């Protein structure tokens, strides 16, 4: 068969005796010999169905490259963006946009600039712990809209599942509990087509910031229009197919398992004996997702905040102002001291108020309690600015078409048991 290329990531396929299949070292796909033969006879089905798009207009943009992090940034010709939005480094013009840099789809901004400013103000506001400068108009005017790349794949999936479908019925007759079990030999063979399954790879942008900005709903994907890129600069990132494929494969397999599960849902139980779900071909394309980005440098520290351009989710760690923190700590301290003074006077806890040393005892107790309370409040306040985030997967359309060429449910056996009903 010679050197065969992996249809999912262009890696090299090698026969793996332990799997009795051909395996790809870089993305972990497996193919039977039959599948490999078929693939190279008909080439990649989904790829062949796609017209190659030539778009002169797209090429009118310019490509810039960051001299620090290497990010490739696509922008309108002669737009003076000046610095790399991924790292703040300098940009060097590379020339016209290569035609194959054209994205397939785009998620439009649904959060307006004004709305994004409000979201930032809410999170970095006065009264909270961040220094006031962060919510000032001057800093907020630095808010920029950018597009980030997400690689996606259309996948052609081969399904080869068989197992036992079992129905269980039980009834009571007299003082006996009867259980009737019927077994069926179940076979599901076929194909499924998936479109635009997103991977998690996101170029040079800070991964933590992107993770905090949350997921995107790719069911709202629109066809890319070159005017989008002229409005906001976009990052291009070549795909690491092996890496991205692993993530896509997981999503597709999980989803295909669900589809197979639905087709055997009439059984009480399905016990799989063989479950081969393989991606037999992949068409790669990428889409742009919108993000509002604010970078602010104060002293030696650079702060970055982001607002998801589709959902409005805030991302970033709001800074804590020492002045504001001291103010809140003092307020709590003084309040507790005064409160203790009043309470000890009323209750006589620190002895009669006309006795010598009353003030010392009362204020001493108050200062002790006040310091503890202030410390607790400070810890709680600083903690509240720390963002914890959980990983939420992106929403995408999922299984577009599943066709089972074989859908066999063959009756095998039936048996009834009876036990004494308690
Ligand atoms: Zn591969
Ligand atoms: Zn950079």
pLDDT band at 50 (very low <50, low <70, confident <90, very high): very low
| Ion ligand 1 residues within 5 Å by Cβ | 6, 8-9, 11, 24, 27, 29
Q: Phi/psi at 184 (nearest 5 deg)?
A: -125, 140
8 Å CB contact between 264 and 161: no
Question: What is the per-residue pLDDT for 40?
Answer: 63
pLDDT digits (tens, 9 = 90+) for 124-135: 875 567 888 888
pLDDT digits (tens, 9 = 90+) for 9-45: 888 888 887 777 888 888 888 888 888 877 766 544 4
- Output the CA 67–ligand 2 centroid distance in Å: 7
- Output the CA 224–ligand 1 centroid distance in Å: 27
Question: What is the per-residue pLDDT for 98?
Answer: 87
pLDDT digits (tens, 9 = 90+) for 209-227: 888 888 899 888 888 887 7
Selection from 22-31, 59-68, 170-179, 385-394 with the highest mean pLDDT: 170-179
22, two tokens: 């051909």
CA of 235, nearest ligand number: 2
- Output the CA 303–ligand 2 centroid distance in Å: 15
Question: What is the per-residue pLDDT for 81?
Answer: 65
Task: Give the DSSP per-residue string, 296-335.
Answer: EEETTEEEEEEEETTT--EES-----HHHHHHHHHHHHHH
- H/E segment holding residue 247: helix 241-263
Stretch 173-191: mean pLDDT = 93
- Output the CA 130–ligand 2 centroid distance in Å: 27
Four-residue CA torsion sign, 66, 71, 77, 80:
negative
Lowest mean pLDDT among 5-14, 76-85, 255-264: 76-85
Average pLDDT, the chain: 84
Q: How far apart are CA 252 and CA 194, in angstroms?
A: 8
For the chain, the 3-state helix, strand and coil shares in percent, each to the nearest 5, are 30, 35, 30
Of the candidates 255, 278, 264, the residue with the CA atom closest to the CA atom of residue 185: 264
Stretch 161-183: mean pLDDT = 93
Helix (H, G, I), strand (E, B) or coil at 109: coil
- Output the CA 198–ligand 1 centroid distance in Å: 17
**Which residues lie closer than 8 Å to 352 by C-beta, 6 or more apart?**
358
Question: What is the per-residue pLDDT for 147?
Answer: 94
- Output the CA 122–ligand 2 centroid distance in Å: 29
Helix (H, G, I), strand (E, B) or coil at 30: strand
pLDDT band at 113 (very low <50, low <70, confident <90, very high): very high
**Cβ neighbour number for residue 258 with a 10 Å cutoff:** 12
- Output the CA 225–ligand 2 centroid distance in Å: 25
Q: How far apart are CA 172 and CA 208, in angstroms?
A: 59
Stretch 232-253: mean pLDDT = 89
Question: What is the per-residue pLDDT for 8?
Answer: 86
Evaluate if residue 47 carries a pLDDT over 50: no
- Output the CA 6–ligand 1 centroid distance in Å: 5
Of the candidates 188, 198, 180, the residue with the CA atom closest to the CA atom of residue 249: 198
pLDDT band at 51 (very low <50, low <70, confident <90, very high): very low
8 Å CB contact between 363 and 337: yes
pLDDT digits (tens, 9 = 90+) for 347-404: 877 777 777 788 888 888 888 999 999 999 888 877 777 766 667 777 887 766 788 8
Q: Kindly give the interhelix angle for 322-347 and 358-385, rounded to the nearest 10 degrees.
A: 140
Question: What is the per-residue pLDDT for 307?
Answer: 95
Question: What is the per-residue pLDDT for 115?
Answer: 96
CA of 14, nearest ligand number: 1
Q: How far apart are CA 337 and CA 348, in angstroms?
A: 16
pTM of the entire predicted model: 0.77
- Output the CA 228–ligand 2 centroid distance in Å: 21
pLDDT digits (tens, 9 = 90+) for 276-326: 999 988 889 899 999 999 988 878 888 899 999 999 999 988 888 888 888
CA of 237, nearest ligand number: 2
Stretch 66-70: mean pLDDT = 93
Q: How far apart are CA 268 and CA 342, in angstroms?
A: 70
Question: What is the per-residue pLDDT for 394?
Answer: 79
Answer with the residue of higher pLDDT: 356 or 231. 231
Answer with the residue of higher pLDDT: 375 or 59. 375
Lowest mean pLDDT among 108-117, 185-194, 312-321: 312-321
- Output the CA 404–ligand 1 centroid distance in Å: 25
- Output the CA 89–ligand 2 centroid distance in Å: 5
CA of 8, nearest ligand number: 1
- Output the CA 188–ligand 1 centroid distance in Å: 25
Question: What is the per-residue pLDDT for 53?
Answer: 52
Question: What is the per-residue pLDDT for 291?
Answer: 95
Of the candidates 36, 105, 98, 26, the residue with the CA atom closest to the CA atom of residue 63: 98
Stretch 101-110: mean pLDDT = 91
Question: What is the per-residue pLDDT for 294?
Answer: 93
Helix (H, G, I), strand (E, B) or coil at 262: helix
Question: What is the per-residue pLDDT for 146?
Answer: 93
């Amino acid at each position: 068969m010679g050197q065969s290329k992996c249809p999912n990531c262009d890696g090299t396929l090698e026969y793996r005796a332990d799997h009795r299949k051909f395996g790809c070292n870089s993305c972990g796909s497996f193919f039977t010999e039959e599948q490999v033969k078929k693939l190279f006879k008909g080439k990649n089905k989904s790829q062949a169905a796609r017209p190659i798009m030539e778009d002169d207009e797209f090429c009118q943009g310019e490509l810039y490259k960051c001299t620090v992090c290497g990010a490739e940034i696509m922008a309108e010709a002669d737009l003076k963006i000046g610095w790399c939005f991924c790292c703040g480094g300098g940009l060097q013009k590379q020339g016209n946009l290569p035609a194959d840099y054209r994205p397939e789809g785009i998620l439009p901004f649904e959060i307006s600039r004004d709305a994004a400013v409000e979201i930032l103000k809410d999170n970095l506001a006065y009264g909270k712990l961040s220094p006031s400068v962060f919510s000032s108009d001057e800093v907020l005017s630095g808010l920029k809209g950018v597009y980030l790349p997400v690689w996606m794949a259309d996948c052609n999936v081969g399904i080869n599942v068989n197992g036992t479908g079992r129905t269980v019925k039980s009834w009571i007759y007299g003082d006996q509990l009867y259980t009737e079990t019927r077994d069926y030999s179940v076979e599901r063979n076929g194909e499924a087509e998936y479109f635009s399954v997103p991977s998690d790879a996101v170029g040079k942008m800070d991964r933590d910031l992107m993770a905090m900005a949350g997921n995107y709903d790719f069911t709202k994907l629109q066809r890319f229009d070159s005017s989008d890129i002229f409005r906001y600069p976009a990052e291009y990132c070549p795909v690491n197919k092996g890496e991205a494929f692993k993530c896509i494969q997981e999503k597709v397999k999980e989803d295909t398992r669900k589809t197979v599960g639905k087709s055997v849902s009439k059984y009480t139980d399905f016990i799989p004996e063989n479950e081969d779900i393989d991606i037999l071909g992949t068409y790669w394309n990428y889409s742009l997702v919108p993000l509002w980005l604010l970078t602010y440098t104060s002293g030696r520290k650079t702060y970055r905040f982001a607002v998801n351009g589709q959902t409005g989710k805030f991302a970033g760690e709001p800074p804590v102002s020492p002045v504001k923190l001291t103010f809140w700590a003092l307020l709590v301290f003084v309040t507790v001291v005064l409160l203790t003074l009043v309470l000890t006077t009323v209750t006589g806890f620190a002895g009669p108020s006309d006795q010598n040393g009353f003030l010392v005892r009362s204020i001493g107790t108050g200062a002790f309690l006040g310091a503890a309370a202030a410390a607790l409040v400070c810890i709680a306040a600083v903690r509240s600015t720390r963002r914890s985030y959980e990983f939420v997967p992106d929403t995408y359309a999922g299984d577009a078409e599943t066709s089972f060429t074989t859908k066999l449910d063959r009756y095998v056996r039936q048996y009834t048991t009876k036990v004494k009903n308690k």
